[in-house]
Structure 1
């Protein structure tokens, strides 16, 4: 129960931070593109390259590479608080691309109608793009949470706590097969619940 609580805590906080930073990043990727609300091809190219670099790094490599930054932010490199830093940095570019995909699915005519009525760029983003793409955003966030659950298990392997730490220390190192099996089952149950809830919310928003 303690390990499960630590995993849920890590994933919840990392999800919140990912949404806070990833959503604006995805909006920038769309609005700065050619034909966007505020075209800036040079800025979009640089931003896109940074996002692609963040997505290309394997999570285990990212955790090790940013250990100094993690220590600077949290004052430690072990425990659930420290694990949130690499979890967030690993998920933000991933979620930003999903946000970009969802926003690109909005009917261009709806945006043009808002522009014709004199709506400002910020208003178009807040009252047209985001509401119209809400089902896709929820689906993208659900995929991100599922990915974070997997990342959190890897974070546990290097002292991040949670179910991953439990599986390594008490299951693998002590050759306790029962602990390994229970850990896997708990992770599967959590993923299934998150995915089912996310799908349900996305379907209801889509019907609205």
Structure 2
């Protein structure tokens, strides 16, 4: 199966969606009708700060998502999203190094890195590849299609504690210390995602 283009939206949540994610069901029912979407889609609020949320949608290609945004139905979709969106949002697109199975785990880690010095790119990718391989691709990464110096990392865990226990071990700890010396850690959060099939 080809690796999809993943859309990640980080947004300010409303109290309504923090209480009940099912208010987004009409939005995802509409999304599921678009050509090139790979359902399910995923929504979560940040465990560390529920005032922020995230949406993950997998598309056959960036062009499929752009076609949806150009569609007359896009205005209807935005109306369906309004009850959940508290104002600010930021959208990214990424093609991960493997299929993002992390989205199906009990807890999903989302890490955004910015490489300040492009000459560090190769080493950053080497470190992330080693970590990804050591987790059997439970952790995946890729550069944002909007800005190749913004790296999006997504990891799947049994719990938040399981993540922190793993990164406290000497080898991953040393790898991450080096990684954070080469790239700015812009965002790190966890979410227990809810999947929507659109049916």
Q: What TM-score, normalized to structure 1?
A: 0.22
**Which structure is richer in relative contact order (CA contacts within 8 A, separation 6 or more)?**
2
Q: What TM-score, normalized to structure 2?
A: 0.23
